[in-house]
Chain A
Amino acid sequence: MIRKVSYLALGVALGATVTLGAPGALHFMAPSAYAAVADTYRQLNLFGDVFEKIRNDYVEKPDEPKLIEAAINGMLSSLDPHSSYMDAKAYGDMQVQTKGEFGGLGIEVTGEEGVIKVVTPIDDTPAAKAGIMSGDIIISIDGDSVQGITLDQAVDKMRGAINSAVTLKIVRKGAKDPIDFRIVRDVIKVKSVNSHVEDGDIGYIRITQFTEQTADGLRAAMEKFKTDIASDKFKGYILDLRNNPGGLLDQSIEVVNAFVDKGEIVSTRGRNPDDAQRFSARPGGDLSGGKPVVVLINGGSASASEIVSGALQDHKRATLIGTRSFGKGSVQTIMPLGENGALRLTTARYYTPSGRSIQAKGIQPDIEILEDVPDDLKGKDDTKGEASLKGHLKNGDDEKTGSQAYVPPDPTKDKQLIAAVDLLHGVKHAEAAPAASPSPEAKPN
């Protein structure tokens, strides 16, 4: 049996997965399967012939790895937009992202006008303990100047094995000379859950992506609300999934389970009917104490985010506020290819508890609220959605595409957030009526 980890996210996501390769189960072949094998053999011979002719006869010496990469990418992208090949490096990066942890220093950096700048050191990490500060500018890493290297390259140089050391040369405002910091790398966990108490009586939880840390992060946040907010005062939860591109399937299931105690959460169906799987809530998993839940979604909420939104909507466990979600209703499985990286292959469609596929349609919020988009961002903030992706898996004649994906940086101007708070406080709005009777969409003014 091959244990597969299912992965749901857009693009080369900041989300992710690990798969264990094991000997495959014995497959019985039907006669048609023999024909298929002959066909495969024929196709592969054709490919080999073409490659050979290029090597021998092309006008210039071809870059062979580049040829193979182009061929593999072309082959996979002809399947659908989410099937892709990852070379060993890309696969390694993806595992790091999925796992939500890596060996590093614990600083968030940005590349601004050619310099690498510290946004903030993360609490309780080697960087914070060493005294790295927001606004510090990194000018060299282990003696190598960062001049001319990309942000990704700089990050790669700072990451490394746990317990290994790295020396940063830093220019700090107010300090006359650059300062050297020698820092020993440790395990850095990428936070995928941020939470705070909103308005004194609401537990606000933002999930940025579904990594291996997500369910634990969510449970910790919910526990903390219990101590921070008196239970008689506690009005409910806001689960913010806006612009969350997805991640691990099992994590999305656990997130739903934290709010419901029973019933199906999601089912997946592949080509082979035997591969259909149903995932249900484990009794005792629900930590929410039955408090009301509002989920925020927008055009950037995809995949695992849509599993969560769809399940909570179908269970009538939450009211969805925002704009229509992205519409990625497929599951990818990571198939390792030994030293050659891995294949990310679309292996199933998923269905919400009521049996609907949101593929290329997205999830319609119960209350549609548009954000006021600043003039200079107008027209740039929308996602085009799954239905607009070339070669996407089709889903009937009523596919829908395009939805707003803007979240105002200032929470006091965040109309979707404000509507969620109001709903939990029982405030009725003329333009945003409660869940039971979805209102006409609220227009920005």
Chain B
Amino acid sequence: MRRSGYLAIGVALGAAAAALVSAAPAAMTAGGERGVALYKLVFETALDRDDYVDEPDQVKINEAGINSMLASLDPHSNYLDPKQLNEFQTTMKGEEFGGLGLEVMQEGGLIKVVSPIDETPAARAGLMSNDVIVKIDDTAVDGLSLKEAVDRMRGVAKTAVRLTVERGSSHETKVFTIIREIIHVQPVRSHVESGDIGYIRITQFNQQTYDSLRAALAKFKSTLGSDKLKGYIIDLRNNPGGLLTQSIEVVNTFVSSGEIVSTRGRTADQYQSYSARSGYDVSEGKPVVVLINGGSASASEIVSGALQDLHRAKLIGTRSFGKGSVQTVLPLGDEGALKLTTARYYTPSGRSIQAKGIEPDYKVLENIPDDLKGKVASRGEASLSGHLKNGDDEKTGSDAYVPPDPTKDTQLIAAVNLLHGAPPPAADTTSN
């Protein structure tokens, strides 16, 4: 059975999809049958007769049951109704939709911004990671499902939506009126940095990512020429993840042999190892620096972890998010699909970064403006309630701020300096 693994935090309000696979229904054992029978009994008792005080919405209450069941597993397993599945596929394919350009997730009943997508109305309006959305137009978000909240934010281009958000521990309230746009999810942006470095920013891992990366590398070669090119900066900061297959191909673009990642599920036959295929490395051995921070999750961590373990790149920035699990999208016929955590992944050296994150080789902190201090850290996987456990040394919390002005971006500057042969940054460069 071929399955596409999906790795990202949050439900993207942006886009993407791989070939989805159907799992054959299996026979139920007695234990499970009894549980399902009990659920059915309660459902029918509550709904089938006219006992309940008002006419209940069957679809809504069943979804509440399913979502509660999935939420009891871990924070990344959830149900996608047909509309959400369609949007998810759109996102993974890198197609377009009318929206704000926000990635959001639900945590403890709150709708939280994972990150605004670059160059979208949400990013321009100034929404930030960790903002809690409390109102969409005049509707309080309290009590809405993630799906309902996303539905309310999406809509026809050029229409306006008003978001009320709370920011930081002081719960400072801010209101943003944002005009929806067609969101083109461009997963890779690149430019020549300082005249001799190929800078590549990957915003998410969708079906366009690998092709766009190859195109960016080809462009560097044609504009700079191999001789002049000092190396690459791969910027994975605030990249929440995406498709497993794409992350493997991204690594393969920089290495030509060795294991990239392995995944392990509950049973032995769910073990899978992915290795680099020869002939796909087009980096010509040039040095690579990867930028990561507290918002780099999942597929981003596979890339960072593999390049670190294979000694192919130096990592600069702050500790990554720590999402070390793989979700599979399991179709449910006409009823949408299930996004279910099916495996953990391991870097080439065999480590799981679940709830721990990846430590950069050189920790460099950004200078955070005073008004944002304490508001731009990602709390990380280990702080999510019900996260998969990973030993006693879990780690949580890391900065996730990238200055909008590149000349003030100390992590970027450190990367450029390193590629230019300057001594590496001190072990712990603290901001002042």
Contacts and interface: CB of A to CB of B under 8 A. Distances in A.
Interface of A: 24, 27, 36-37, 39-40, 42-44, 46-62, 64-68, 70-80, 83, 85, 270-272, 275, 330-331, 333, 335, 337, 340, 343, 345-349, 390-391, 393
Interface residues of B, number: 62
Contacts of B39: 44, 47, 51, 68, 71-72, 75
A335 B67 CA distance: 24
Nearest to B47: A40
Contacts of A50: 66, 69-70, 79, 332, 338
B58 A346 contact: no
Contact of B40 (A44, A54, A83, A275): A44
Given A50-B332, A55-B32, A345-B45, A271 B53 contact: yes
B50 A270 contact: yes
Counting chain B CB atoms within 10 Å of each CB, which of A50, A51, A337, A393 scores highest? A50
A51 B48 CA distance: 21
B26 interface: yes
5 contacts: A52-B26, A58-B341, A71-B65, A74-B66, A345-B46
Nearest to B40: A44
Rank and list the top 3 A-B pairs by shortest CB-CB distance, nearest first.
A74-B68, A78-B64, A75-B65
Nearest to A83: B46
Given A43-B59, A71-B65, A71-B69, A59 B341 contact: yes
Contact of B43 (A43, A54, A65, A349): A43
Contact of A74 (B41, B54, B64, B328): B64
Interface in B11-47: 23, 25-26, 28, 31-32, 35-36, 38-47
Nearest to A270: B53
Contacts, number: 198
B45 A335 contact: yes
Interface of B: 23, 25-26, 28, 31-32, 35-36, 38-56, 58-62, 64-73, 77, 79, 142-143, 265-266, 325-326, 328, 330, 332-333, 335, 338, 340-344, 388
Contacts of B47: 40
B53 A347 contact: yes
B25 A66 contact: no
Contacts of B388: 59-60
Contact of A58 (B41, B51, B61, B342): B342
Contact of B58 (A43, A62, A66): A43
Contacts of B23: 53, 56-57
B43 A75 contact: yes
Contact of A66 (B40, B51, B72): B72
B418 to A, nearest CB: 37
Contacts of B342: 57-59
A271 B69 contact: no
Nearest to B72: A70
B69 A68 contact: yes
A388 B341 CA distance: 35
B48 A77 contact: no
A334 B66 CA distance: 24
